[in-house]
Amino acid sequence: MTEAEYLNGEFTSKDKHQFVSGEVYAMAGASVDHNRISGNIFSEFRIAFKGQSCEPFIADMKVSALGDYYYPDVMVVCDDHKDDSDYVKHAPKLIVEVLSRSTRVFDHSIKQAKYLKIPLLEYYVLIEQDLCEVSVLSRSAGFIPQYYYLGDEIKFPILDVVISVNDIYERIENEGKTLYLQSLLVGDNK
């Protein structure tokens, strides 16, 4: 399939598809926790960028990455790109993917390799939904992952935004959060 055929097909399709190396892949639906995490981080960016030129997008906006097209869970765009449209962005500053068992390998490998070649991308954020771990790859750190956990704050200096990991995992109940809360209780009893 050509890029043009894919883009035209997405206008009329009931389902979303990713376009990877000339192949089209249907996207599965997301879990409740996946939606909560995506919504939480989108909300944090939405509040942070109120009245500013940067704008977050969630789930239904495509990103172009070296001829492939993906639907990131959240992305932040700060400048209009000459090729941007109402459906595709070409120059995001930040991309977030919420990981699941079925997407983890793809998001860490093929997508990551493509995303990190987007010239204006400053941050690639991978958020685990089954435990409380956030990995941030930033251009300024050579795209070497830095890990954040409950109780930590994530600083995005180029965007002038700070987000608490606790806020990302609001309303999420998983093993990582249970262990963190237990550790706080033990700490209070000492």
* Alpha-carbon torsion, ordered 60, 64, 68, 69, to 10 deg: 10
pLDDT at 190: 54
Low-confidence stretches of the chain (pLDDT beneath 70): 29, 187-190
DSSP H or E segment with residue 98? strand 94-99
CA distance 172 to 34: 9
Three-state SS at 47? helix
- Relative to beta strand 74-77, strand 94-99 is antiparallel
pLDDT tens figures, 111-163: 999 999 999 999 999 999 988 999 999 999 999 999 999 999 999 999 999 99
pLDDT at 81: 77
CA distance 182 to 174: 12
pLDDT at 71: 93
Instruction: Report domain 31-188's class.
Output: alpha beta
Beta carbons of 24 and 15 less than 8 angstroms apart: no
Q: Which residues contact 26 (CB under 8 A, 6 or more apart)?
A: 15, 16, 17
